Amino acid sequence: MQEILKKIEILKKEKNAVILSHTYQPAEIQDIADYVGDSYQLSVEATKTSADVIIFCGVMFMAETAAILNPNKKVFIPEPSSGCPMADMITVKELLFLKDKYPDYEVVCYVNSLAEIKALSDVCCTSSNAIKIVSNIPEDKGIIFIPDKHLGEWIKEKTQRNIILWDGFCPTHVRITAEKILAAKKEHPDAIVLVHPEVPKEARMLADYVFSTGGMCNFVSKDNHKEYIIGTETGIIHTLKKNNLNKKFYPVSDLAICPNMKKTNLELVAETLDGKGGKEVKVPQEISDKARKSLQRMLEMSK
């Protein structure tokens, strides 16, 4: 272990590389990363780094986003097969059909989507800034929200906007059911419940708070409670425990694991830095230029 950690540090300096990790990544990856965060935080961090090389430990749409926002940097993903089922739930053909059906509507695209979908959208959002993004769109404008219906439904409730929802979802978050939350509350009666807005409504309604992963981390660091039931991918619990040593965290479900997020390991990171593994993420310029506009608009509207 120590040998590979030392190798990663040496290669990082040689390549002027930075390692970005999502909070759903394995603990060993979070621990070697220069920055750990949710998809919005990582999007911002990607635009601020002075590194020549970005090693993105997450899933493909995240690495694509970093590549789109940093056309002059090299972006690598250690495990190219790390996809996102939700991102695959809407195609270009289906989005074009929606745009034709609702020609005057703004397309708000959850960042958990492929580059070609972002390129056809008016603005992107993440779970941490979605309400702000939608609220900043003129009130007389209808909205097409893609691809996650559960996040979209939560936004619709919070903003009371006219929103057309697509039937996409996160297979990991739909495992967080109302029954599992009730069971967790019974087992840990002193804990408060935090859930991600990608969970189904019937489970979300049982939560004390609804947050993005970054929002959960920020809330817990300032909150006075000592016990929390966490309703999102279990990888975040490593982050929470590491930063809040005097608090206890319980997953709603041990099954809330994203298999794609868990594909990265230290060996793959080292091989990527050494040029022997991983994949450079390249988005065709025509798609990249269009997708960059929707991402930059997101960053501007989030300020």
Write down the pLDDT at residue 40: 79
CATH number of 173-251: 3.40.50.10800
Which top CATH class is 87-170+290-301? alpha beta
- Helices 266-273 and 2-15: angle between axes, nearest 10 degrees: 30
Beta bridge partners of 231: 195
The tens digit of pLDDT for each residue in 94-127 reads 999 999 999 999 999 999 999 999 999 999 999 9
20 SS3 class: strand
Write down the pLDDT at residue 41: 86
User: In CATH terms, is domain 2-83+261-282 a member of 3.40.50.720?
Assistant: no
- Helices 236-243 and 213-222: angle between axes, nearest 10 degrees: 20
- 43 confidence band (pLDDT: 50, 70, 90): confident
Q: Where in the chain is the domain with CATH 3.40.50.10800?
A: 2-83+261-282, 87-170+290-301, 173-251
Contacts of 30 (CB under 8 A, 6+ apart): 21, 23, 36, 235, 238, 239, 242
Average pLDDT, the chain: 96
The percentage of the chain sitting over the pLDDT mark of 90, rounded to a whole number, equals: 94
Reference 45, options 62, 29, 32; nearest CA is 62
In this structure, what DSSP letter does residue 166 have?
A: P
In this structure, what DSSP letter does residue 76 have?
A: E
The tens digit of pLDDT for each residue in 152-207 reads 999 999 999 999 999 999 999 999 999 999 999 999 999 999 999 999 999 999 99
81 SS3 class: coil
47 pLDDT exceeds 90?
Answer: no
H or E segment to which residue 248 belongs: strand 248-251
46 pLDDT exceeds 90?
Answer: no
DSSP-derived pairing of the beta strands 143-146 and 163-165 = parallel
pTM of the predicted model as reported, rounded to 2 decimal places: 0.95
